Amino acid sequence: MRILPVPVDHPDAAKLDDQVQSEYLERYGDTDLAPMDPAQFAPPRGLYLIAYGPDGTPLASGGWRSMERDDERGEEYADGDAEVKRMFVVREARGQGLARRILAALEDSARAAGRTRMVLSTGDRQPEAIALYRSSGYEPAVPKFGFYRTYDSSLCFAKPLTGG
């Protein structure tokens, strides 16, 4: 198993994104409408990772991007935030700890880049994701933030990257 940094618009990332969008459509009846600018995931202000199987098949992905307080958009981020996006594992590779490994690598990268808090939003129809985030030290974030902050189905979580 190899976890490699790639641009968020890499062809393998697009393949995985198509699959995650299909899953969102199944679970929520719509795709993810939140804007994602590939430039936001370029180091040192972000990172996008793909886990590859032994045969080179892309199996999992995840990324982070720097976010700051922005009263104009009113999305409730705080200065120093690193927002997790597009955490996904293909169905046949689930249960192998890939998401946990990617999440830990994203946290390490964000911490090294000087980010102070990891934040993410997920939906209430993704119990696997909720369990992963809670077991990884994420707590419900108040106030809610991001594109889906006003949606009842949106759950926001945060984890400090500094201190104990």
Query: CA 7, 118, 105, 131: dihedral to nearest 10 degrees?
Result: -110
Assigned token pair, 82: 């690193």
Task: Report the side by side order of strands in the sheet with 58-67.
Answer: 2-5, 46-52, 58-67, 81-89, 117-123, 154-160, 139-140
- Which pLDDT does position 76 carry in this prediction? 85
Name the pairing type of β-strands 2-5 and 81-89: unpaired
Tell me the average confidence (pLDDT) per consecutive run of 10 residues in the chain, 164 residues long: 96 97 94 91 97 98 92 75 96 97 98 97 96 97 87 94 76
The pTM of this model reads 0.94
Domain that holds residue 37: 2-160
Please give the DSSP secondary-structure letter assigned to residue 16.
H
3-state class (DSSP) for residue 49 = strand
Report d(CA 14, CA 69) in Å as an integer: 29
Report d(CA 134, CA 50) in Å as an integer: 22
- Which pLDDT does position 72 carry in this prediction? 55
- CATH number of the domain where residue 53 is located: 3.40.630.30
3-state class (DSSP) for residue 101 = helix
Give the residues across from 89 on adjacent strands.
Answer: 60
Report d(CA 131, CA 134) in Å as an integer: 5
- Which pLDDT does position 143 carry in this prediction? 87
Please state whether the peptide bond connecting residue 54 to the residue before it is cis, i.e. omega within 30 degrees of 0: no
Please tell me the total count of domains within the chain. Answer: 1
Q: Is 157 in contact with 137 (CB distance < 8 Å)?
A: no
